[in-house]
Structure 1
Amino acid sequence: MAKSVSLLVLLLHMAGKVRSLKCTGDNPLQIPHQWYQPGEILIGEITNLIGYMAYHVSFTRHPSEDFINIPVLNTKFYQHILAFVFAVEEINRNPNILPNVTLGFHIYDNYSDRRWSYQTILDLLFHYGVFSPNFNCGISKNVVGIIGALNSETSSYMADILTLYKIPQISYDGSFQSTVIDSAQFPSFYRMVPNEALQYVGIVQLLVHFRWKWVGFIMHDDEPGEHFLQRLEPMLSRNGICVAFTERSPRKLHLDSIDDVMKFTDSDTAAFLESTATVVVVYGETVTFMWLAKTLWMQARMSSTRNVEDPDRTSEGKVWVTTSQVDFAVINFQLFFDIRIFHGALSFAIHSNAILGFQRFLQIQKPSWNNENGFIKDFWEQVFDCEVPDSMNSKETCTGEEKLDSFPATIFEMSMTGHSYSIYNAVYAIAHSLHTMFSHRAKHTAVEEGDRQAFLTVKPWQLHPFLQRISFNNSAGDEIMFNDRGELVAGFDVTNLVTFPNYSYIRVKVGKLDAQTPPGKELTIHEDRIEWHRELRQKPPFSLCNDKCYPGYSKEMKEGEKFCCYDCAPCPQGKMSNQEDMDYCIICQEGHYPNKVQDECIPKILIFLSFADTLSIILVFMAVFFSLTTAVVLAIFIKYKDTPIVKANNRSLTYVLLVSLFLCFLCSLLFIRQPNTVTCLLRQTIFGIVFTTAVSSVLAKTIIVVLAFMASKPGNLFRKWVGKRLAYSIVISCSSVQMVLCALWSCVSPPFPDLDMHSLNAEIIMQCNEGSVSLFYCVLGYMGFLAIVCFTVAFLARKLPDSFNEAKFITFSMLVFCSVWLSFLPTYLSTKGKDMVVVEIFSILASSAGLLGCIFWPKCYILIVRPEMNNREHLIRK
């Protein structure tokens, strides 16, 4: 097939030279800058070299004189043009892509202006210089695709016209939310970038990864900026992140006069610099960065004039997080801006790889002063601060031997940027689509010699089926393909800005954002590769509204403040927090309790009253002592059983009482040991029965005393009731009631071993659960009832005249008994753990000892010390 000359057209955002007419009150006529290469198949690109800054600076010498116009260029964007040209030349040299076809191109600048965007597109599609839509006049332009633009606004202007003619448009910018460019509304629109929603996820996951909760936002003051904030705020709130401030950069910085330049230079610094937020997310476009750079530069300048030792202190503690649309670029009068303010910035960047030969292609660039390249003259003059040879100005003449790699990256970057990489891939996408279409035609169509020109004729709409299904690997090995929404199937790189004293920088890849991973795992970050800002005190830094709440404290919200701003309150008793910034303190799990500083749970100690405790030893000693004493008293009474004082008040009741008291002292030992099923069942029931027997014996003694006095009167009817049978009946009947209660208690809900986890903070109480509390208090209440009856009877009989009367001793003993048990109840109910058991044991010993001492001590005194008083004559009073 004969080789034919074809043309590829590129439409870029790039400010070119501004020509002005004599001032007549109208706007000067502006002619779009272009770079034209003739051919039959065209790919167009629209660029903006100005980069959304002022499009030109006009200096007026006199109202009647001509304007002197100086183009203000964003020199970094010139790489977009060179990447486009490099891709076209590389394809033309490759015999495997479009053999016998040479691509050409058009490159236009639209000045970021809506009118020139529409004008440029129409001029690209139809005859240059003649505004005749739908008419092809003169040289035919076979436009097959348009690449551009650098922002969604201009892309939408282009799509308004290109969609009508079904011409493929491939955008390489990062502002591409679906609300601006809708795939259904613009079916000819493709994006050489992933969907922006992936960046939202990445930003949130990055903030969550480093636990940054207090974050500022700087965005462009336009619809995409508002859309970004509206979409992101709910995601931030769900992840506990607050917006510290929102600062909006102006949409355009007009520098149409010296006054505008001075205002731009001397404007006040933004209030956001006073914020305590360490992390600032910057969303927008390159002009947003330029505005931010100006603001920080002015703050540093003001700090320097105030004799501040560190004029760069405004960036101290700041971590800048930028989106893929933002490029670290400055214009010519910001040449010496200290980019080190942004050292350590983290950026979501369009994925890129090094393209073999591209850096060499940049290094060998030589200026050409012909009219084909309409950008090189203005670019060369501004970046090297010289004049072309035909200029009449006094500046140094450009030699053409200047090197692009002699400038910092803020002016011109030698490594391929993400946007340039997208342009490179966009050119290849169209070329591969053309190649596939021609291959398809060759396979299904027989071509005659005279039909070759028709064979190469391409209608733009014919390219869509091939472009939609395109899939190829570029020279860097990355796969290029579109999804069903016309977006590139790819992710983002996470880069770290590393700056140098010569105002230059490099971007180091420290992670990636991949949409193909499971939800929640899209972001991969390598902290060890990140180089943070040198002024940061903590690395990685904190970004909080206030200091963290450390373990042992919980957050306490401040009224009227955002939820990220709070006070720290110590955990209440019994609760703890073992992590930073906990919303509330928690209770430890069963068997654990908080330590003193309340930042961790430790196992509780199992406690019970054991024989090793000091109190237990004392109580055991007392129990043994009193039980032995009771045994001795019993032995004394048995020895002197035939003496009047022993026989005076029913020896059998005395023996029963002493045996009962002896068992009462010993049953207290059942309470001192680790509780088990047997001891829990026995200790309360045995204590209740034995103690009831003792009190019943005392009651029988009291009743016998009263009946004996009454029977001593002649002819009294109670004489026949006095005797052993009555005494035994009282003891047995009263004790039987208690036995029935204890049996019922053991059958219905008996006591059992139990663990009390909650009564004490640091210990687990191993105790006997009483089972049926009502029956437990019935047993105690019955004993109390008997004691009160006994006390009442004894109190009424205390003044009987006979010397053998025990009523007064019984009255005193029952007074001690009732006092002890009345004191026992509140004390027992107010204590926990071992103390409760100690109280019960002490009450048993004290009440038993009161009975023993008050009733038997006077008699033992007479039996042992005053035996002469142990006779009938002494005992009988007149």
Structure 2
Amino acid sequence: MDVEHRINNWSPNVHRVLFKEEVSYGAVDPEFSDRIRFPLFYRTVTSETSQYKVIIQLIKTFNWNWVGMIFSDDESHQKASEQMKNEIIKNGICIAYLVQIGDTDRRTVYFAWQTIRQSNASVVIVYSKTVAFLMFLLFQKNSINVVWLMLSPLSSTSEKIYTDTFNGSLVILFHQGNIPGLRDFLYKVNPSRFPNDPITAAVWFWVFGCYSEEAFAKSSFKSYHICNDNDTLKQYKKHGFDTSSFRLTYYMYIAVYAVAHALHAVYTDKSSGGNILHGDKSINGLMQTQLNNQLKKIHFRTESGDEIFFNEKGESLRYFDIINWNIFQNETVTTRHVGTIISSESSGLAIDKEAILWASSFNGIPSSSCSTSCLPGYRKASVEGKQVCCYECVQCSEGEISSLPDMENCLRCPEDQWSNESRDKCIMRTIDFLSYKDLLGVALTTTALVMCFCTGAVFCIFLKYKNSPIVKANNQLLSFILLFSLILCILCSLLFIGRPTKVTCLLRQTSFGIIFALCISSILGKTITVIVAFNATRPGSRLRNYVGTRVPKYILMLCILPEILICGLWILISPPFLDYDSHSETGKIILQCNEGSSCAFYIMVGYIALLAFVSFFVAYLARKLPDIYNEAQYITFSMLLFCSVWISFILAYVSTKGKYLAAVEIFAILISSAGILCLIFIPKCYIIFFKPSVSTRGHFI
């Protein structure tokens, strides 16, 4: 059976359900969401809490975080405004001020205007009675640059807001839909034809204040047009009357049809036999339960395409229209639908930003924030005693960036990257190491090559004069081994220059340790040879059996084997490896060799120091022996220099980082090698070239 026919037949029951059984088309008080206290309370409008969500969605869409609020001084608006304020703050939006206005109290209106003028908030939320807000707007004399965000769900706001202050504002209204047949009905009737119809009279009074002669006589609207029997509303359409603007009527229409659908479902329910619709006892009893069940299940569409059903809170239509209000210089008022919001969905906003005409004082979309936006490269820092929306912009630290405006925290760059100067982008770090192209690298390389050439030249000189007494003195073989090991020591310093690799990292420290151990062992052998040679000349000395080349060879092997063992265990257990240091220097990655085991490194260096100390001690004891070439004295000075250099190296090694760590070790290698070369071999070269008479067998005897 047709639903409209059912409505006509059941009109008393529909009226009873609408007004007695609590199916509402206008109640928005959130307390009626209590489904336990009001199990049969349904409404076609959303609660005030849902309306707050609409405001919040709209504010977030335009990135506003600093808004003001005004409300009328009646109890209901005060309570609702406080609840709205709490909901807005929960969503990270700050309230610049909260002031009230009254219909007649000029002091509150003046205070409200002063507050708005002194604040830097460009958006003001209005939750007020229309009359109070109109009085508030008319009170001000000077225009003010704000966007009014008006929540006026139950009315379309007065058509007579001609003040420039309201220009470009947004009004949030309940959704507007088409009511079939309403326009034709209203165009045909007038109060003279239907004197007993209060609805028709109310519509006429809303348009012109003329709904009957008696009402007109009692009213104060005598300046309006007096209607006659032939007048209809259609002829007043040009005066601004629009039958599609009845928003609250549309929700009444939905409420009636929702009840009608529920009653139709109850009527067609075979279990009830359709008898429960007749008689008050049935309605008050069984009908309440079945009607409640059917209202939960209804699901239909209106002619406007709106989907109607009740959610768990008893709410039906959750749509809101966003209206842009514009007043031009010729006092022409235009209202345009620019968007729709579904309050039940977080992403239910559909708005055409390009269609909105803001006030001319705003150049584009207005901005409303307590603090200026932080540019990329800066982060927001809270200010003590102020709201979270009021902040300072602090530049990100080195190694951190913020690529977007208004970031709460800076992001740290990856290990292989660093922040640029503006701190808004991560860039690749510069890979740094002791290069052959660096000034320091060039200086050390040149020094090493010159020293290698000088040592090679001394080696050639000794090779040429190998049969001279000065070369044969104190073991000729050890002198050649010492010179060869010095050449290798100088060359091994080049392993510390250039881009490190896995191979160079394995070789640089171990080769340095073994070669230096060979060098110091040769010096120790030469020192012991001096002592043995002197004491072997005494009559009956047993040291004659140890004069020769065997003892120095044994000493050499005995001293170098522990160093080889230390380096071998080091490579097997915890070998050096290629590593990156991103912390020592800003914006750079230092490519370096990690020693693997620092303990093994210090043991290796410590063993070389032990050999040097023993050599120094033995040479010191033999310094006064009657050696014509002062071999023991030269060894003593060379070992003293050697020990001083490497003690300084250890102290510098601990406190140095980056590529300069390699430079310190190269410096120690070159200085100690140069000391041995100069103090032991240069005096002999001087005798060979400048005092050849001293380098004879007769002089030696």
The answer to whether TM tops 0.5 is yes
Aligned match of 1:192: 44
Of 634-643 and 815-824, deviating more is: 815-824
Q: 2:420 aligns with which of 595, 598, 605?
A: 595
Matched, 1:213 2:85: no
Aligned match of 1:276: 120
The Cα shift of 1:614 comes to 5.1
Q: 2:462 aligns with which of 627, 637, 661?
A: 637
Matched, 1:670 2:495: yes
The Cα shift of 1:742 comes to 0.9
The Cα shift of 1:712 comes to 5.8
Of 496-505 and 701-710, deviating more is: 701-710
Query: What are the Cα deviations for residues 266-289 of structure 1, in whole angstroms up to 9, with x where unaligned?
Result: 776363543323333334x5x1x5
CA contact (8 A) 2:521 2:559 kept: yes
Matched, 1:480 2:324: no
Q: 1:687 aligns with which of 512, 525, 529?
A: 512
Query: Amino acid of the residue matched to residue 214 of structure 1?
Result: W
Question: Equivalent residue of 1:199, what SS?
Answer: helix
CA contact (8 A) 1:660 1:693 kept: yes
Aligned match of 1:743: 568
Q: 2:358 aligns with which of 532, 554, 557?
A: 532
Superposition pairs for residues 360-439 of structure 1, below 5 Å? 366=190, 368=192, 370=195, 372-373=197-198, 375=202, 379=206, 396=223, 398-400=225-227, 405=237, 415-430=244-259
Q: Distance in 1 between matches of 2:374 and 2:36?
A: 50
**Corresponding pairs, count:** 682
Query: Amino acid of the residue matched to residue 136 of structure 2?
Result: T
Query: What are the Cα deviations for residues 72-131 of structure 1, in whole angstroms up to 9, with x where unaligned?
Result: xxxxxxxxxxxxxxxxxxxxxx99722894899xxxxxxxxxxxxxxxxxxxxxxxxxxx
Superposition pairs for residues 229-268 of structure 1, below 5 Å? 229-230=82-83, 233=86, 236-237=89-90, 239-249=91-101, 253=103, 260=104
Query: Amino acid of the residue matched to residue 625 of structure 1?
Result: V
The Cα shift of 1:688 comes to 0.4
Q: Distance in 2 between matches of 1:560 and 1:665?
A: 67
Question: Equivalent residue of 2:320, what SS?
Answer: strand
The Cα shift of 1:724 comes to 3.5
Q: Distance in 1 between matches of 2:680 and 2:155?
A: 104
Matched, 1:98 2:33: no
Aligned match of 2:450: 625
Query: Amino acid of the residue matched to residue 510 of structure 1?
Result: G
Query: Amino acid of the residue matched to residue 325 of structure 1?
Result: P
Matched, 1:776 2:601: yes
Q: Distance in 2 between matches of 1:757 and 1:495?
A: 55
Query: Amino acid of the residue matched to residue 216 of structure 1?
Result: G
CA contact (8 A) 1:701 1:727 kept: yes
CA contact (8 A) 1:145 1:430 kept: no
Q: Is the alpha carbon distance of 1:482 and 1:802 closer, same or farther for their aligned partners in structure 2, counting shifts above 3 Å? A: closer
Q: What's the TM-score, normalizing by structure 2?
A: 0.83
Query: What are the Cα deviations for residues 157-180 of structure 1, in whole angstroms up to 9, with x where unaligned?
Result: xxxxx6xxxx23432336231x24
Of 687-696 and 570-579, deviating more is: 570-579
CA contact (8 A) 2:379 2:410 kept: yes
Query: Amino acid of the residue matched to residue 349 of structure 1?
Result: L
CA contact (8 A) 1:213 1:242 kept: yes
Of 592-601 and 865-874, deviating more is: 865-874
Superposition pairs for residues 533-572 of structure 1, below 5 Å? 533-537=359-363, 539-572=364-397
The Cα shift of 1:696 comes to 1.8
Q: Distance in 2 between matches of 1:228 and 1:394?
A: 35
CA contact (8 A) 2:7 2:260 kept: no
Query: Amino acid of the residue matched to residue 341 of structure 2?
Result: K
Matched, 1:171 2:24: yes
Q: Is the alpha carbon distance of 1:811 and 1:387 closer, same or farther for their aligned partners in structure 2, counting shifts above 3 Å? A: farther
The Cα shift of 1:693 comes to 0.9
Q: Distance in 1 between matches of 2:682 and 2:296?
A: 114
Structure 2 gaps, min length 5: none
Q: Distance in 1 between matches of 2:604 and 2:649?
A: 15
The Cα shift of 1:264 comes to 8.5
CA contact (8 A) 2:638 2:679 kept: yes
Q: Distance in 2 between matches of 1:169 and 1:646?
A: 123
Q: Distance in 1 between matches of 2:32 and 2:134?
A: 28
Superposition pairs for residues 50-89 of structure 1, below 5 Å? none
CA contact (8 A) 1:387 1:397 kept: no
Of 593-602 and 357-366, deviating more is: 357-366
Query: What are the Cα deviations for residues 218-251 of structure 1, in whole angstroms up to 9, with x where unaligned?
Result: 34553575366447636743x433333333455x
Question: Equivalent residue of 1:269, what SS?
Answer: helix
Query: What are the Cα deviations for residues 646-690 of structure 1, in whole angstroms up to 9, with x where unaligned?
Result: 122221111110011111122223333443333322221111010
Query: Amino acid of the residue matched to residue 425 of structure 1?
Result: I
Q: Is the alpha carbon distance of 1:427 and 1:855 closer, same or farther for their aligned partners in structure 2, counting shifts above 3 Å? A: same
Query: What are the Cα deviations for residues 752-786 of structure 1, in whole angstroms up to 9, with x where unaligned?
Result: 22233433343333322211110111111211222
Q: Is the alpha carbon distance of 1:343 and 1:645 closer, same or farther for their aligned partners in structure 2, counting shifts above 3 Å? A: same
Aligned match of 1:729: 554
Q: 1:291 aligns with which of 132, 148, 156?
A: 132
CA contact (8 A) 2:210 2:225 kept: no
Question: Equivalent residue of 2:113, what SS?
Answer: coil
Aligned match of 1:51: none
CA contact (8 A) 1:348 1:493 kept: yes
Query: Amino acid of the residue matched to residue 233 of structure 1?
Result: N
CA contact (8 A) 1:342 1:497 kept: no
CA contact (8 A) 2:179 2:253 kept: no
Query: Amino acid of the residue matched to residue 319 of structure 2?
Result: F
Q: Distance in 2 between matches of 1:754 and 1:100?
A: 86
Aligned match of 1:657: 482
Q: Distance in 1 between matches of 2:36 and 2:58?
A: 32
Q: Is the alpha carbon distance of 1:417 and 1:344 closer, same or farther for their aligned partners in structure 2, counting shifts above 3 Å? A: farther
The Cα shift of 1:848 comes to 1.4
Q: Distance in 2 between matches of 1:357 and 1:98?
A: 15
Matched, 1:492 2:319: yes
Of 94-103 and 810-819, deviating more is: 94-103
CA contact (8 A) 2:210 2:224 kept: no
Q: What's the TM-score, normalizing by structure 1?
A: 0.68
The Cα shift of 1:637 comes to 0.6
Structure 1 gaps, min length 5: 1-93, 105-141, 149-161, 254-259, 302-310, 447-453
Q: Is the alpha carbon distance of 1:523 and 1:647 closer, same or farther for their aligned partners in structure 2, counting shifts above 3 Å? A: same
Q: Is the alpha carbon distance of 1:421 and 1:726 closer, same or farther for their aligned partners in structure 2, counting shifts above 3 Å? A: same
Matched, 1:804 2:629: yes
Q: Is the alpha carbon distance of 1:795 and 1:512 closer, same or farther for their aligned partners in structure 2, counting shifts above 3 Å? A: same
Q: Distance in 1 between matches of 2:339 and 2:77?
A: 27
Q: Distance in 2 between matches of 1:831 and 1:589?
A: 25
Q: CA RMSD in A?
A: 4.1
Matched, 1:816 2:641: yes
Question: Equivalent residue of 1:97, what SS?
Answer: helix
Query: Amino acid of the residue matched to residue 97 of structure 2?
Result: F
Query: Amino acid of the residue matched to residue 654 of structure 1?
Result: S
Q: Distance in 2 between matches of 1:379 and 1:241?
A: 39
Q: Distance in 1 between matches of 2:210 and 2:639?
A: 114
Question: Equivalent residue of 2:4, what SS?
Answer: coil
Q: 1:521 aligns with which of 327, 336, 347?
A: 347
CA contact (8 A) 1:97 1:432 kept: no
Q: Is the alpha carbon distance of 1:359 and 1:147 closer, same or farther for their aligned partners in structure 2, counting shifts above 3 Å? A: farther
